[in-house]
Structure 1
Amino acid sequence: MFSLVKPGRLLALAVVPALLLGVGGAAVAATHTLTVTVVNRNGVKVKAGLRLVDVVSSSIYSATSGTAKKLPKGTYAVLTSVTTGNTITLSGKAVKVSGSAKLTIDARQGKGVGLAISPAPTGLERTMTMRICTRTSASEGIDASASPGTKLFIVPFASKYLGFAALGSWSDHSGTSNSYAVLHHTNGVPGGLGRTFSKGQLAAVKVVQKRGPSGSIYSDLAMQAIGSGCGDSLYAGLGGTDRPTATTVFASPGTWDVRVSSSAPTKTGETWNIGSYFAKRTVAAGKTYGLNFFNSAWGPSAQLPVTIRGRISFGLNEMFADPGFPRDGSVEGGDKAVATLDFGGKRVAGKQDKGWEPDSTYLYYTVKKAGWYTLTNTATRYYPEITFPSGMMSTTSRVTYRFQSKPNASALAGVYSAHLLPTGLSLTNKAKAGSTTKVAIRLYRSTVDPDAKRGTDPKLSKLTAQMSPDSGQTWRTVPVQKIGGTWYAMVSNPKTSAVALKVRATVAGGAYTEVTVFRAYGIG
């Protein structure tokens, strides 16, 4: 499913690996030229766009076949794609440019690219993406994808400067059935580009997609290859569903980002991606792995307050993270928040995000006196362009940090982030009335700013938990136990529709973190 992304704070910056030369700008100071002739699979000379990569500097130039391109003297990898009817042929060749160099790329020399599973999956549609890339200091590549009816070819060429990868997937795109994703990659571009994977050569990744805390009932699943030569970032969409589901992806050994995204229709009839969740996993043949997405209870992410050169900073917009992946940046957009900072019993700073500001919102404060600071951030779900699902969980979250800071310091706050993960819930994140739910309490201390000194991790001195059956009007203390190295709050479930949770983690010296999640999980 293709989704539009809401403009604003979730947009990412694209990183250009190398300077693209020859498209405007200063002319290349060179007396050497390269002329490339491209022939399609019908034997006809055609115009084709070319990507030329200097194998030493990784500088990238654009050119068009049939036209002499001025270049500095050197060795270049030449990449192109040739479409002929329902075929796509990729080619990569290395050529030395000195004087008037010439090169011919003939798509008729292309060999078919195929990936297969044995025994062959039944009732599933195969899709495939292939890439040819440069193996230089900054890799550059071109891709081609094929759904049924399109054939892929690649021209073999033995060179240490080139590589090849193909990603095949098999799915019925329903989001509820088992699927396959396999990656094959090589150094150089050999003549034999196909590969058949037996099922015994694959890992089984069991993926559960729950419902309840997301701002949508619709989600889709994908596999993205990580760090596998030319295969890095190749992507296979495996389908989407509006139901909670448990499926298995059979994947080739290697490292993958298992990706789940949620999308929702807007009130104007568009479809927006409102959140994406990533779980990086390295898998081995014959092994089984499990992943649960959309776990309750969504609360503050793993970010902590930091003081950098005497200024405290904290982001207001990471308050609804899946507790299964709190350090992966898997935060769903759509919130508004109010943060305050107190010192000596007085308010010294405050910041508000009214919802969907153009950029992420931060509270900043320049420390004037050393001592104890208390930072509180309260966020509520807010997405006026879409209608939230009825009975949505994790509607409000709050975090309070009490920590020490001082002028001119650069340090991570001496506290932990706390995350609440109820266990034993249904696929709709509900527990039975009258049952007992063990809520795992996970503590992390992470920093993303290299200027923030981590220091020694503080020692936990006290861990307390409370629950509320009535949206925070009343609170009851619940026991906390350590079982097998993990802390659990033991919650006796009421007959009301949902449970709110509150946990405080106090460390030696008196610093603490307190996290509250309203409608943390449902009853029913």
Structure 2
Amino acid sequence: MKTLSRSVLAALLAAAIGVTPAAAARAPAPRANAVTLITGDRVVLAGQGHRVEPGPGRQVGFMKQVRGGHLYVIPSDAMPLVTQGVLDRRLFDVTQLLAWRYGDADTPDIPIIEQGFTAPLGSAQVRRLPTLGMNAARVPKAEAAQAWRQLTAARTLAAGRTKVWLDGRRPFTLDESVKQIGAPQAWQQGMTGKGVTVAVLDSGYDAEHPAFKDAVVQERNFSDEPDMRDDLGHGTHVSSIVLGRGEKYRGVAPEASLAMGKVGGRKGPTDSAILAGMEWAAVEVKAKVVNMSFGAPDGPELDPLEQAVNTLSERTGTLFVAGAGNDAPKGKVISPGSAEAALTVGAVDRQGRMADFSSPGPRVSDHAIKPDVTAPGVEIVAAAPGGGHRPMSGTSMATPHVAGAAAILAQRHPDWTGAQLKAALTGSAAAVPGATLYQQGAGTIDLVRALRQQVVPRQANLWASFPWDDAGGRTATRTITYANSGDTPLTLDLSADGEVLKLPSGQVTVPARGEASVTLTIDAAGKAAGDHPGTVTARSGETVIRTLAGAYVEPESYDAIITIIGKQGLPTDPFFSEIYDPRTGTVHVPAYRDGVARVRLPEGDWNLYAFLWQRVEGKTVRTLADSPLKVDGGDQRVTVDTRRAKPVKISIDDPDARLQDTFALGLDHGKWNAWGFMGGVDVNSELFVVPAPSPGLIYTLATTWNSKDAYTLVDRRSGGLPEDPTYHAKRKDLAKITATYRAAAAQATGRPLVGLHGFGLDAPAGEIALPGTLTHYLTPGVKYDSGFEVGTSLMSDGGRVMKRGHTSEVWNTAVTGPSFLSPGGSRTGDGLSFSALGMFADGGADRTGTDLAATGVATLAKGGQVLARADLANCDVYQPEGCELRADLPAGPGRYTLTASMSRDVPHSTLSTGVESLWSFRSATTAGERPLPLMAVRYSPEGLDPSNRAKAGGVTRLPLRVERNPGSAPAKVVSVRLETSADDGANWRPVPVVRVGRDWRAVLTNPSAPGFVSLRAAVTDSAGDTVTQTILRAYAVG
């Protein structure tokens, strides 16, 4: 799934709202997505916004951050454990939890992996992983708060001797390709993998496919699906590349045995299923090779799968072969391929060039060279469920080529360990022309050479990392051992390609049936900071052995020793703290102990951020600090003394106004941000800031107030934390909006929403009866998002800067229908994507909208043949895949028909019960992403009453305009035809339409009896593209 950038989040939804438990109870959101965190707190999402509900009896605050397009909501009592690295940050990644279907609508449990506990915290233990010292468990969400108390009461957790991870998911990432690595020549030597068991952990397989005839020796299902059937097709394809039987589409090792472990299906495998499969394959099956064509982004810490690869490799001698990932050029090698012991595989095309999708190194944790090798991974034809074959691309396809090659090599050398197999395949690989070592590793595997060479290395990759002020002179030694399986000695000519690599001599002689070692010196003295990869090559005739080696040199860096002094004058650990570079967004998280932290920082300009929660004289006091930190020429000592903090004061000149909520306290500084939920906090007595100038830093405090009117008061300053954090607002200086909220059903209620652009939608007035009116005052000069929530329906605008003075607006106004305020579809190369997120926008200008209760279908066809179909349901920006259609298109130009049809039956609206758009457009292969030429017809009927009713038998003037998908090729509207229906679309009659400037207008005669008017419009543009849009029950008549 594509992740949402911060700008997209800002355009489509409000990011975060903090509310008190009472406010949450006052405004339930039926059918809204919700995520219960492991702490028992809930993040409730309602399409365009969200709010936080603390768990029962929990008096905590929350830190909100947007990192890499993901929204994190971390409670104050969880933050220290996340900072210490003993609690998985992904447990609080709301975006990822929803994407993995861990929301409350999808599962009643929180899946976790525990390490080091004598008994699982979850009430339901899913599986034990004794070899790895782990347990997979599920914590019932209804009991999450209790489980959290048990978790935090475990002293071993705080001491760092145990860990808890989210049981995450990892997406699954051949007629000519086997020749490319030399497999047929191996077969001629009788090397077919016979007698070697290869375990494939994947999406299952088609047991009836001829490719697996007499191949499977064991199988086990670790997934949450009921059987081994492969609905995805990935596992069938991958397994047949390893060892598929057949003539034309033969696998690399066609006589190897298959142990098939199903670890996932369409949702992708969970970490615990993978871990169980790995343990089964290595310990019970005793497979020589395990293929793992899946992964997830790697981080600096060792995750459970990386631990398992290293542990099981060492204990069992199994070789784990893993894909590098398909996220180039931005993404790096994924986990578990990032594990030291894994044989990690990138992809090349049929011409031996690097595939443009193949993820490069270096490894995130230490900059070491990864991947280790490459193999064919572009348009690989292999088995498909149902008995046929199909092409697929990815490092998922490259990985089984290497697994098959390892099986053949294991047949030749049955006593070799996985580490020896890895070193031999890496050492015999052939360099990829034009590729860097971080793209290709040692190069493309050459099975012919691997079988032929009598000398092999014992090591595959030798690496060193040096701190800036290394007292050892930035030198290290590593040993390369060459083993000779032949009957004659062999003299190797040695050379080092790399500026930090030095050899003691130019030759080494390896005795027959013996070994010889060479000491490699890695000397980075005087070298620039950064990566210095290289290779050591040993040659003798046709024998060529490559060993990866190199070093990483830390940039000029020094220690920053930070002390935080609390309100009572004692060193105090902050609730949250980061050291960040505002230019790059690079973050270091200090680990405090008794108020002191030591952090290694590269030379340059940084900022220190700290947020404290303290009990002072019986009440909780929050203190915010952020100040520049310059690292230059030596260690730095920095003290933040919160006794210097100034109290925040904010007010309004309405004597009846009462502070309702402090919903945002945030800092933005270049590419860095940190925002806190302050639900229920009285800023006038509980919030302090430590004044400090800091160029470029923007401080924001947002509060909501209530009297007979609503207030959103925002104190926004630039240049650092203010010396005087006081803000007194006067009504005459504010922006005043009188908003009317129409009804679309009897006895309906709704929530007017407003919030800082890109941060959150709050409901300062709570729930109001419909129709209704609200006067709202806002601080001018600030960009806000506005919206309205009624039942499961959410509508919002694109954000605007409010100006001093009075304006008016209308919400929930007919006609609700499709909108292109945000992009709705695009073509990239020959891939098409379409989103139906904007199908229920109300009739106001610059609006988008969705209804979580609406369902429907989208289809794409060409020449009458359906190319793709997708069910549409639960259309929410946090789970966009529920409202998306994706398709692979034929290369070249063509005309396509795209239809999106949705309906709803909801108590909050009797209008727009059916909405359908049928687009016809031409499209051709593109060089990059290009928006589709889609159109939407937007109506603004005049004279409707507050319940969206027109007078029966009367006349309704109907202005209409045509919106185009943003960024699509410009074209003029050349014709508009309009029809109306008074019987829900059973009969239609045409209505004249006239052009008025750039828009259009019609005059409708309404039915004489109460009911509804439906609208159907047909639009053609100058490019010949069209849309036919139907809205049943567009407005009411009474």
TM-score category (smaller protein): 0.7 to 0.9
In structure 1, distance between residues paired with 2:33 and 2:754? 23
User: Amino acid of the residue matched to residue 392 of structure 1?
Assistant: T
Alignment partner of 1:422: what SS?
coil
Q: CA deviation at 1:195?
A: 2.3
2:884 maps to what in 1?
361
**Per-residue deviation at 1:396?**
0.4
C-alpha distance in 2, partners of 1:57/1:312?
33
Q: Would the alpha carbon gap of residues 279 and 221 (structure 1) be closer, same or farther in structure 2, given more than 3 Å must change?
A: farther
Q: Structure 1 unaligned segments of length 5 or more: list them.
A: 227-231, 265-272, 383-387, 449-453
- Counterpart CA distance in 2 for 1:514 and 1:108 is 66
What is the alpha-carbon distance in structure 2 between the residues aligned to residue 372 and residue 58 of structure 1? 44
In the alignment, the residues of structure 2 paired with residue 123 and residue 160 of structure 1 have an alpha-carbon distance, to the nearest angstrom, of 35
Give the counterpart of 1:106 among 636, 641, 649: 641
Provide Cα deviations, 1:301-350, integer angstroms capped at 9, x if missing partner. 32566444345543355432223256x54222222223344545x33435
Q: Distance in 2 between matches of 1:423 and 1:511?
A: 29
Cross-structure match for 2:263: none
Partner of 1:298: 816
The aligned runs of 1:21-420 (5 Å cut-off) are 23=85, 25=301, 32-40=559-567, 42-55=568-581, 57-60=584-587, 61-64=589-592, 65-72=594-601, 74=603, 75-84=606-615, 85-96=619-630, 101-118=636-653, 120-128=654-662, 131=665, 133=667, 135-140=669-674, 144=678, 147-148=681-682, 150-160=685-695, 162-172=697-707, 177-186=708-717, 187-212=719-744, 217-226=748-757, 233=759, 236-238=762-764, 239-262=766-789, 264=791, 275-286=794-805, 288-302=806-820, 306-316=826-836, 318-325=838-845, 328-344=847-863, 346-353=864-871, 355-356=873-874, 359-362=882-885, 364=887, 366-367=889-890, 370=893, 372-381=895-904, 388-389=906-907, 392-406=910-924, 412-414=931-933, 416-420=935-939
Separation in structure 2 between the aligned mates of residue 306 and residue 430 of structure 1, nearest angstrom: 37
Higher relative strand content: 1
Q: Distance in 1 between matches of 2:910 and 2:706?
A: 30
Q: Is the 8 A contact 1:415 1:458 kept in 2?
A: no
Tell me the equivalent position of 1:427: 946
> Are the counterparts in 2 of residues 223 and 256 from structure 1 also a CA contact under 8 Å?
no
Bigger shift: 464-473 or 88-97? 88-97
Larger CA deviation: 277-286 vs 10-19? 10-19
Distance 1:94-1:72 versus aligned 2 partners, 3 A rule? same
Aligned counterpart, 1:267: none
Q: Secondary structure at the match of 2:818?
A: coil
Cα pair distance change 1:33/1:18, threshold 3 Å: farther
The AA in structure 2 aligned to 1:151 is E
Deviation of residue 283 (structure 1)?
A: 2.0
Partner in structure 2 of residue 462 of structure 1: 975
The 3-state SS of whatever aligns with 1:254 is coil
Over 3 Å counting, the alpha-carbon distance change for 1:222 and 1:112 in structure 2 is farther
- Corresponding residue number in structure 2 for 1:229: none
Q: 1:150 to 1:389 in 2, by over 3 A?
A: farther
Superposition TM-score, scaled by structure 2 size: 0.43
Q: Name the aligned partner's letter for residue 205 of structure 1.
A: I
Between the aligned partners of 2:624 and 2:892, the Cα distance in structure 1 is 64
Deviates more, 1:504-513 or 1:424-433: 504-513
Q: Which moved more, 1:122-131 or 1:393-402?
A: 122-131
The answer as to whether partners of 2:761 and 2:786 remain within 8 angstroms in 1 is: no
SS in 2 for 1:331: strand
Kindly indicate whether the alpha-carbon contact (under 8 Å) linking 2:831 and 2:886 is maintained by their aligned counterparts in 1: no
| Contact residue 317 and residue 337 of structure 1 kept, 8 A | no
1:5-24 correspondence runs (5 A): 5-6=32-33, 15-16=66-67, 23=85
> 1:101: how far off?
4.3
Report the residue type matching 1:416 in the other structure. M
Decide whether the 8 Å contact of 1:480 with 1:488 is kept in 2. Answer: yes
Deviation at 1:208, TM superposition (A): 2.2
Residue 477 to residue 276, structure 1, CA distance change in 2 (3 Å): closer
Instruction: Report what 2:1036 is aligned to.
Output: 522
- Per the alignment, do residues 444 and 390 of structure 1 end up closer, same or farther by CA in structure 2, a change over 3 Å counting? closer
Of 991, 995, 1004, 1:491 maps to 1004
Query: Cα 1:305–1:94, aligned 2, differ >3 Å: closer, same or farther?
Result: closer
Q: Residues 62 and 392 (structure 1 numbering): CA distance in 2 closer, same or farther, change over 3 Å?
A: farther
1:291 deviation in Å? Answer: 2.6
> Structure 2 CA distance, aligned partners of 1:498 and 1:411?
39
Q: Describe the shift of the 1:421–1:517 C-alpha distance in structure 2 as closer, same or farther (beyond 3 A).
A: same
CA RMSD of aligned residues (A): 3.8
Structure 2 CA distance, aligned partners of 1:347 and 1:520? 32
SS of the residue aligned with 1:108? helix
For 2:697 and 2:836, the matched residues in 1 are separated by: 45
Any conservation in 2 of the 1:481–1:490 contact (CA below 8 Å)? no
| Letter of the 1:299 counterpart | G
SS in 1 for 2:840: coil
Aligned pairs, number: 490
Give secondary structure in 2 for the equivalent of 1:200: helix
Q: Which amino acid aligns with 1:500?
A: S
AA aligned to 1:465 is: L
Q: State the distance in 1 between where 2:696 and 2:931 align.
A: 44
Where structure 2 has 5 or more consecutive residues not aligned to the other structure, the ranges are: 1-22, 36-44, 50-63, 71-81, 86-299, 302-364, 367-465, 468-556, 876-880
- The AA in structure 1 aligned to 2:943 is G
Q: Does 1:447 align with 2:966?
A: yes
For residues 146 and 376 of structure 1, do their structure 2 counterparts lie closer, same or farther at Cα, with a shift above 3 Å needed? closer
Aligned partner letter, 1:6: N
Within 2, Cα distance between the matches of 1:95 and 1:316? 47
Structure-2 change in CA distance of 1:503 and 1:116 (3 Å): same
User: Structure 1 residues 476, 182: closer, same or farther in 2, change over 3 A?
Assistant: same
How big is each residue's C-alpha offset from its partner over 1:271-312, in whole Å with a ceiling of 9 and x where there is no partner? xx65352341222222x2233222212222325664443455
Asked if structure 2 preserves the Cα contact closer than 8 Å seen for 1:256 and 1:281, the reply is yes
Secondary structure of residue in 2 paired with 1:393: coil
Query: Which residue of structure 2 lines up, in the alignment, with residue 481 of structure 1?
Result: 994
Between 347-356 and 466-475, report the one with greater CA deviation.
347-356
**8 Å CA contact 1:309, 1:408 repeated in 2:** yes
Whole-angstrom distance in 1 between the partners of 2:994 and 2:794: 33
> 1:261–1:52: structure 2 CA closer, same or farther, 3 Å change rule?
same
Whether the 8 Å CA contact 2:871–2:882 is kept in 1: the answer is no
Q: 1:188 to 1:314 in 2, by over 3 A?
A: closer
- The higher radius of gyration belongs to 2
Larger helix proportion of the pair: 2
Higher relative contact order (CA 8 A, sep 6+): 1
Distance of 2:956 and 2:914 partners within structure 1: 21
For 2:787, give the aligned amino acid: V
Which residue number corresponds to residue 504 of structure 1?
1018
Aligned partner letter, 1:70: V
Structure 1, residues 50-78: CA drift from partner, whole Å, max 9, x if none?
A: 41324465432233252332322544423
Query: CA contact under 8 A between 1:400 and 1:513: conserved in structure 2?
Result: yes
With over 3 angstroms needed to count, the CA separation of the structure-2 counterparts of 1:66 and 1:117, relative to structure 1, is closer
2:734/2:777 contact within 8 Å kept? yes
- Hey, which bits of structure 1, 4+ residues long, moved more than 6 A? 11-14, 18-22
